[in-house]
């Protein structure tokens, strides 16, 4: 028996999330841990659930997420984008709603690279007059 599942990739800063969405009861597993265990912060859990709440599909899908890189906030945003893309595979009619909410737009902001002759991206070495 083949399991029907939808897949979406989300990226944010240096994070990459692969989201597998299967019909189920609303269980979310991130890197082998529960969502509550992986994201103790309630705001980040809300960010992850945002596409499902918007589409009114809470507790209808189980999510298996693999995420790497970056910090907690970037990972949560990457998962949100991957979930939004997976929802499109489930129902293409949701595209306008998700687009309007800004969940399908890739955030292009990245860390600026360190330049030679400087301490950081913009910070210069300390100037000494004498």
Q: Which domains does the chain carry? A: 9-100 (3.30.230.10)
Residue 81: phi and psi, rounded to 5, are -70, -40
pTM above 0.85, yes or no: yes
In this prediction, residue 101 carries a pLDDT of 93
In this prediction, residue 130 carries a pLDDT of 85
In this prediction, residue 42 carries a pLDDT of 95
> pLDDT (tens digit, 9 = 90+) per residue, 43-78?
999 999 999 999 999 899 999 999 999 999 999 999
The answer to whether residues 111 and 14 touch, using CB atoms and an 8 Å cutoff, is: yes
């Amino acid at each position: 028996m083949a399991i029907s599942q939808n897949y979406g990739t989300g990226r944010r800063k240096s994070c990459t999330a692969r989201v597998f969405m299967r019909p189920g009861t609303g269980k979310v597993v991130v890197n082998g841990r529960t969502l509550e265990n992986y994201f103790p912060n309630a705001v980040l859990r809300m960010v992850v659930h945002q596409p499902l709440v918007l589409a009114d599909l809470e507790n209808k899908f189980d999510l298996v997420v693999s995420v790497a890189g970056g910090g907690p906030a970037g990972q949560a945003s990457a998962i949100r984008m991957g979930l939004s893309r997976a929802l499109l595979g489930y129902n293409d009619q949701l595209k306008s709603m998700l687009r309007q909410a800004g969940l399908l737009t890739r955030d292009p902001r990245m860390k600026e690279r360190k330049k030679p002759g400087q301490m950081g991206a913009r910070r210069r070495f300390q100037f000494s007059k004498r």
